[in-house]
Amino acid sequence: MISGGTSFTNGSSVGSMIVIDTQMMIVSISDSKHIGIAETEEYLLKPLDSLCTAEHVFFTQEVLSTLKESGRWQGVIKHNNSAETAFEVNAYAIKNSADEIEYYSLFVNYTDARLPSTTQIDLLTKLPNQTYLLSVLEKRLSTTQQELGATSLFYIEFDNLTRFNETFGFDTDDKLIVQLGKKINALLGEDDILARVGNEQFAVLSQSYRSEESAKVFAKKIISLLYEPFLIGPNMFYVSASIGINISSSTDRDSYRFLKTTENTMRKVQKDGQNHILFTEHKTASTQL
């Protein structure tokens, strides 16, 4: 039994109900550009086994086994040709009166794997959180990405924003964090990522600054933002920060260790006073900007 797909939209994603029988599958045109079907083809018919090959992995044999045994599978499937394309799938095995699987029903939602999920978003700033940052950092420290060039990480901690709360209101530090996030975000390139990694800590992940000289220029832009007052109502606030910078080497692979090393570098430079930076990789002396 084979029936057509019904498309639906959900925000920026595109989804379909796809029905697969035990031999073949049919995919609606709404998913064609994500699965690699020519737009001129209204439908794609493929043997089910061909979706489990190394070249065209839509389902693994393990997923199919789970479907046969339990009648349901839920998860995320990455498109083989792009690490940035994924499908959120709810799959069901539909049986006939003889208790035999007649076809599989899939509810598929296409998503951009580069974007954080709701569990990877900081609720206050709406920025990615540390979990998402680590997942991207792990990919960028992979052998393939390292061959394309170094990755730089800027770990930023603002100095005691909570000190304003007693005088100006309990959420003054939160309002400052939101403003700081917006201002730093405006400095970023297309592939750069700003994440909130602590109460008063941000981290910037970039592949645009692969030398100490270029990284220092970017850090100076961040510090320069702090020379101007931040406004909350009629009140002006001046903020200072410390920045630790880590530029990856060919041997860096552990994303968590890389992040913590950068944080430790920031802790060291905090002892030198406000608005200082320190590089991890070459252990250079701190510099006041």
Could you report the per-residue pLDDT of 200-241, keeping only the tens digit for each?
999 999 999 989 999 999 999 999 999 999 999 999 999 999
Query: Which two three-digit tokens encode residue 92?
Result: 């069901």
What pTM value is reported for the model? 0.62
Average pLDDT over residues 57-83: 64
Looking at the fold, whether 174 and 278 belong to one and the same domain comes out as yes
Indicate whether 108 and 151 sit together in one domain.
Answer: no
**pLDDT score recorded for residue 89:** 66
> Who wins on pLDDT, 57 or 89?
89
* Residue 29, pLDDT score: 32
Q: Which of 95, 112, 129 is the last residue of a domain?
A: 112
Between 16 and 1, residue with greater pLDDT: 16
Q: Do 162 and 74 share a structural domain?
A: no
Q: Number of folded domains in the chain?
A: 2
- Within-domain flag for 1: no
Residue 61 has a pLDDT of 65
Q: Say if strands 241-247 and 276-279 run parallel, antiparallel, or are unpaired.
A: parallel
CB atoms within 10 A of CB 139: 15
Range among 17-21, 38-42, 101-105 with highest mean pLDDT value: 101-105
- The residues pairing with 106 across neighbouring beta strands, listed in sequence order, are 18, 91
DSSP 180: H
127 and 251 share one domain: yes
Beta bridge partners of 202: 156, 196
In this structure, are 277 and 195 located in the same domain? yes
Higher local confidence (pLDDT), 253 or 147: 253
75 in the same domain as 133: no
Alpha helices in 18-157 (DSSP H): 32-35, 61-70, 130-140, 143-148
Give per-residue pLDDT as tens, 45-66. 444 444 444 444 455 666 677 7
| Phi, psi angle pair for 63, to nearest 5° | -65, -45
Q: What are the pLDDT digits (tens) for 21-42?
A: 444 444 433 343 444 434 333 3
Residue that wins the pLDDT comparison between 107 and 23: 107
pLDDT tens digit sequence for 247-286: 998 888 899 999 999 999 999 999 999 999 999 964 444 5
pLDDT-based confidence at 147, cuts 50/70/90?
confident
Distance in angstroms (rounded) separating the CA atoms of residues 216 and 77 = 40
Residues 71-84 as b/e (b if ≥16 CB within 10 A, e otherwise) read eebeeebebeeeee
Condensed to tens digits (0 to 9), the pLDDT of residues 152-189 reads: 999 999 999 999 999 999 999 999 999 999 999 999 98
Domain residues for the domain of 228 are: 118-288
- Strand ranges in 149-247 using DSSP code E only, listed in sequence order: 152-158, 193-198, 201-206, 230-232, 235-237, 241-247
- Whether 206 is covered by a domain: the verdict is yes
